[in-house]
């Protein structure tokens, strides 16, 4: 999968690594990792709680 990159006004606070980083309406930075697991799920990590990723069933 090709790396996705986004630039925004909070780029200095963006976690390192490739991925699509977005600022949601709750002011939480989330990173959508490029790597998908064997089931095709995408892992989303919150900027403030990277030890507790949330896995959703989105592939692509």
In a domain, 3, yes or no: no
Whether 6 maps to a domain, the answer reads: no
The reported pLDDT for the residue numbered 49 is 44
51 in any annotated domain: yes
Instruction: Provide the pLDDT for residue 25.
Output: 42
What is the domain range of residue 44? Answer: 11-56
Does residue 32 form part of some domain? yes
Per-run averaged pLDDT (10 residues), the chain, 60 residues: 37 47 45 52 49 48
For the chain, the domain total comes to 1
For residue 29, the cross-strand partners are 23
Q: In what order do the strands lie in the sheet with 42-46?
A: 20-23, 29-36, 42-46, 49-56
pLDDT given at position 41: 56
């Amino acid at each position: 999968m090709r790396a996705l990159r986004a630039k925004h006004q909070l780029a200095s606070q963006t976690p390192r690594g490739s991925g699509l980083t977005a600022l949601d309406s709750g002011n939480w930075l989330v990173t959508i990792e490029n790597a998908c697991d064997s089931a095709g799920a995408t892992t989303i990590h919150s900027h403030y709680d990277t030890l507790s990723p949330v896995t959703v069933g989105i592939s692509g």
